[in-house]
Structure 1
Amino acid sequence: MKKPQRPRTVFRPLDGLLLLDKPAGLSSNQALQQVRHLFRAAKGGHTGSLDPLATGLLPICFGEATKIAGLLLGARKAYHATAVLGATTDTDDADGAVLRERPVPVGMSESDIEAALAPLRGRIQQRAPVYSALKQGGEPLYARARRGEAIEAPIREVQVDTLKLLERDGPRLSLHVECGSGTYIRSLVRDMGEALGCGAHVVTLRRLWVDPFRQPRMFRLDALRALRETEGEAALDACLLPIEAGLMDFPSVTLDADAARGLGHGQPQRVEAAPAETAVACDAQGRALAIVTVDDQGWLRPRRLFAWAAPGAAGPAG
């Protein structure tokens, strides 16, 4: 007997940002696809992967908001991590197989832990985990690792602004991390464990915020499903933020109607006070029209135009 097929999702144009509280057990892409089907969004993307083990803030971009995903991907982020001393795993977290177990040194103090954390702050060289989404030869490292291939994970320069011990409970350490784009918390914990001589791996990881969303109102998948069932699609859409919310940290320049029309045609526009190298061009109502680059002569050139910037186009969908 055939299982009844789920009705196919009828997608629709939808623009905006959702601050998803990603559950543990899903990859970022799996979470994205579930949310995209729930909202029936024709186009969607996320802004920086979280491991399946991790929870917390995963900004989801729908429609025209995907044009700012790259800016959010490079934003600063904050995490709460729980590490366990005494064991290393092949993934550097609790989802992996244990490679080695070592005793935690007797008498290890908070000063010893601080000494291990100190070199991991600032602008540092970090080796990515072997099980990561970084690509070599066009293929993610985790795909090669799963095949048992020998892999030399790349070393990259990353920025770690804050790395501090919040609490210690035996071999379990609670850590707070604030860092730049591309930083692997699993690698920080792995390297801390090696400096302590006993190894360590991540057992819980939660992303607290991503700039510019420092105090985010996040939505869980189960809550979104319940909202749709009880209150309908309009209530679901009310959870979305406008694209402008994701551009709060960038300077803006307001264009008059003629300049906005010209920019919508892709034509550079001259402004008297150039705000910065990268800015947001807005119309008189404060609606973002484009992400622009600004040269030292005050010329704005569109880097990413939003669809509604074109003369005669409708506003954001949704």
Structure 2
Amino acid sequence: MGGFLNVLKPPGMTSHDVIGFVRRVLHVKRVGHAGTLDPAAAGVLPVAVGASTRLIEYLELADKTYRAEVKLGLATDSGDDTGEIIESMPEFTLPDAETIEAALARFRGRITQVPPAHSAIKIGGRRACDLLREGKKVDMSSREVTIHRLELLACRKDTLLIDTDCSKGTYIRSLCADLGVVLGIPATMAFLVRRRVGDFALEDALTLEELKERGASALLAPSDFLSHLERYDLNPLREKAFCNGLATGERQHIPQSDTLKVYASGRFIGIGRFDRSNKEVVPVKVLKP
């Protein structure tokens, strides 16, 4: 048994809780997920089962779409409304649409952000949030991410509703807090829904009840959910060599990307790396029939 699942994670569950649920439903131990969602968040959680767990790292390369509520007037240590309030502004005037748009424009494109310390990012092999719970000081390094799209959908007295397409590694909590800094009003993330991870869309995601009902029939072909990787069609005569760990040596063409999804005779057989010095595709993850 193997393949991907498009699971709708409900708020209140951890991503690991979902993995435990999938194991019980499918009676399979080898299960993993791509892109952790905070317990309070909801939305698309790609899950890999069986041999397909070897492809999780490639799912995490995909861009993502989020919808978030930004609560204005307070900031928390965690960047969302589950944390301790560290700054408050009970009285403020909501900026006009033009000012908000100008602020959003500053975050489009390639930006630098500091991830929240209350996160699953590992520091010295330990999760930052676990270190914080132990009372240890955590220094988070800044990182570059890309915001492909950032739109204001609605604004109320103290809340903004935003929608964004972004690269892997983007923290929406940090985006909300940084937006507040630009507006001159403390801000925190009130709610988050992940609407897309690469080819996994919210509209197609299964609730836990639906997954329990469908069981193994809900499994999806991995090759259908790797469109963010460039395709390389291997000469069928080289398939056996590739599956045995040998480079293609055929030099059919020069791919644009270094990480490739490899096909032979129209079948997805694994992930390859393009060696530009030797101009050949080297097998990285082979999924044998």
Q: Is the 8 A contact 1:28 1:51 kept in 2?
A: yes
Tell me which of 189, 201, 226 is aligned to 1:247. 226
Are 1:290 and 2:270 counterparts? yes
Aligned 1:7-156 pairs, distance under 5 A: 14-106=1-93, 108-156=95-143
Q: Per-residue deviation at 1:180? A: 0.4
1:203 corresponds in structure 2 to 190
- Report the 3-state secondary structure (helix = DSSP H, G, I; strand = E; otherwise coil) of the residue aligned with 1:238: helix
- Partners of 1:107 and 1:203 lie apart in 2 by 17
- Partners of 1:200 and 1:155 lie apart in 2 by 19
Alpha-carbon spacing, 1:127–1:170, altered in 2? closer, same or farther (3 Å): same
- Report the 3-state secondary structure (helix = DSSP H, G, I; strand = E; otherwise coil) of the residue aligned with 2:110: strand
Matched residue type, 1:259: R
Matched residue type, 2:128: L
2:246 corresponds in structure 1 to 267
Q: Per-residue deviation at 1:95? A: 1.4
Q: Per-residue deviation at 1:160? A: 1.1
Matched residue type, 2:223: E
Q: Per-residue deviation at 1:243? A: 1.4
Q: Is the 8 A contact 2:44 2:200 kept in 1?
A: no
- Partners of 1:194 and 1:211 lie apart in 2 by 30
Larger displacement relative to structure 2 (273-282 or 20-29): 273-282
1:311 corresponds in structure 2 to none
Q: Is the 8 A contact 2:44 2:201 kept in 1?
A: no
Q: Per-residue deviation at 1:136? A: 1.7
Larger displacement relative to structure 2 (61-70 or 213-222): 213-222
Q: Per-residue deviation at 1:263? A: 1.3
- Partners of 1:70 and 1:57 lie apart in 2 by 16
Q: Per-residue deviation at 1:216? A: 5.2
Q: Per-residue deviation at 1:190? A: 0.7
Q: Is the 8 A contact 1:19 1:216 kept in 2?
A: no
Q: Gapped runs of 5+ residues in structure 1?
A: 1-13, 228-234, 309-314
Alpha-carbon spacing, 1:216–1:294, altered in 2? closer, same or farther (3 Å): farther
- Partners of 2:19 and 2:180 lie apart in 1 by 33
Q: Per-residue deviation at 1:257? A: 4.5
- Partners of 2:67 and 2:171 lie apart in 1 by 13
For residues 98-156 of structure 1, give each alpha carbon's deviation from its aligned partner in whole angstroms, at most 9, with x where no partner exists: 22211353252122222332222211110111201112222111112223333322211
| Length-normalised TM-score, structure 1 | 0.84
Are 1:185 and 2:172 counterparts? yes
For residues 227-259 of structure 1, give each alpha carbon's deviation from its aligned partner in whole angstroms, at most 9, with x where no partner exists: 1xxxxxxx4212111111122333333345531
- Partners of 1:80 and 1:215 lie apart in 2 by 11
Q: How many residues align?
A: 286
Q: Per-residue deviation at 1:54? A: 0.8
- Partners of 1:149 and 1:272 lie apart in 2 by 53
2:148 corresponds in structure 1 to 161
Matched residue type, 1:266: G
